[in-house]
Amino acid sequence: MGALLEYLDQEPWRFLISFGAILFLSLNLAAILTLAERKVAGYIQLRHGPNRVGPRGLLQPAADMVKLFTKENLSPSGSDRWVFLAAPIAMFLPAPLIWLVVPFAPGVVVADLNIALLFFISITSIGALGVIMAGYGSRSNFSLLGALRGAGQLISYEVPLILSLLGVAILAGSLSLVDVVNAQDGGFWNWYFLPQFPMLIAFFVAGIAEVKRIPFDLPEGESEIVGGFMVEYSGMTWAMIQASEFGLMGLMSAVSATLFFGGWQPPLEFLDLGTFNWIWLGLKTALLMFTFLWIRWTLPRLRMDQLMDFGWKVLVPLTIFWLFVTAGAVLAFPSIFG
């Protein structure tokens, strides 16, 4: 955090402009993802998805946005108004904040924090806080249950999420995402998804739980608690919650790509595009986002106790075991893994 503030102090204008650009990117990504989700769902479900607004439905997100802007913001009587209104903001902020530390191309990163991984872990947890605030502020049984599930889910998946990052940190020898990407150069066989495959699975699964999507969308659980923490939201507040979910989904894909698939590194060296290497990051992120959508429209939802079982009895032992394997390998063969 200190480094970020220092950076802000040195070049405030550059920071503000890049933050604006990042916010723009995050919001647009969310908008594109809403369309992508409905299109992918459509083709998985033998239908076309939205295809009326604009060519092939491409302007659907804009139409949705106009609709949501013009809707009334209701807050239920007896709700804790400020908590209720602050919750969507708390949920929305993490995604654009974390984009700050993601390297897009060689030398293109808003803030090269030396503790980027810690930053990532701490900022994502704010989203869960927003869920609890929303559930508490809404004064509805359904919301309250959703919030409690959100809290329970937080403690079950945050631990494997953190542990799965440590293997990468050991291999790269740094907590900075720029260093992590630089350590994976020289072709796709150097990417960390090969030596860290169990960690990748754990990270991705915990990431789905983080984003609150099926099979871990228990705080929403639309078939039993009808949207859970967001059941009382409407109009723009609801749109912000949705945008936060999709923004976070895009971000988790980008972070997975950065940590395990070499970030902007091209798969083979002769494909190096220089500053345009962000295309590689974009491709990898898009593939991972598609995986998110694919899982969402295929699997049923787990139950709360089963989620906790899975988090504590499968993911935590798996990540700890692989953490020791990684550390042992680095210590035993410093010439290969060092």
Q: Is 215 in the site for another protein (CB under 8 A)?
A: yes
Phi-psi region of 226 (alpha: psi -120 to 50; beta: other; left: phi over 0): left
Minimum distance, C-beta of residue 13 to another protein, in the bound complex (Å): 46
Minimum distance, C-beta of residue 120 to another protein, in the bound complex (Å): 28
Among 25, 32, 83, 226, binds another protein (CB under 8 A): 226
Residues 6+ apart with CB under 8 A from 90: 126, 127, 129, 130, 133
Residues 6+ apart with CB under 8 A from 336: 329
Q: Is 250 in the site for another protein (CB under 8 A)?
A: no
Taking a C-beta distance cutoff of 8 angstroms, is the pair 69, 236 a contact? yes
Residues 6+ apart with CB under 8 A from 305: none
Closest among 201, 212, 126, 118 to 166, alpha carbons compared: 118
User: In terms of CB distance, is 148 or 259 closer to another protein?
Assistant: 148
User: In terms of CB distance, is 121 or 151 closer to another protein?
Assistant: 151
What are the tokens at 10?
């040195």
Stretch that binds another protein, among 50-58, 115-123, 219-227, 236-244 (CB under 8 A): 219-227
DSSP state of 302: P
Near another protein in 117-146, by CB under 8 A: 141-142, 144-145
Question: Angle formed by the axes of helices 141-172 and 116-138, to 10°?
Answer: 180
Q: How many residues bind another protein, per CB under 8 A? A: 30
Among 87, 105, 214, 259, binds another protein (CB under 8 A): 214
User: In terms of CB distance, is 58 or 144 closer to another protein?
Assistant: 144
Among 172, 225, 293, 316, binds another protein (CB under 8 A): 225
Distance of CA 142 to the CA centre of its chain: 25
Among 14, 24, 45, 74, binds another protein (CB under 8 A): 45
Near another protein in 279-318, by CB under 8 A: 297-306
Helix (H) or strand (E) holding 277, with range, is none
> How many angstroms separate the CA atoms of 12 and 18, rounded?
10
Number of helices and strands (H, E) in the chain? 14, 0
Minimum distance, C-beta of residue 241 to another protein, in the bound complex (Å): 18
Q: Is 334 in the site for another protein (CB under 8 A)?
A: no
Minimum distance, C-beta of residue 142 to another protein, in the bound complex (Å): 8
Minimum distance, C-beta of residue 134 to another protein, in the bound complex (Å): 18
| Residues binding another protein (CB under 8 A) | 41, 44-47, 141-142, 144-145, 148-149, 214-215, 217, 221-226, 297-306
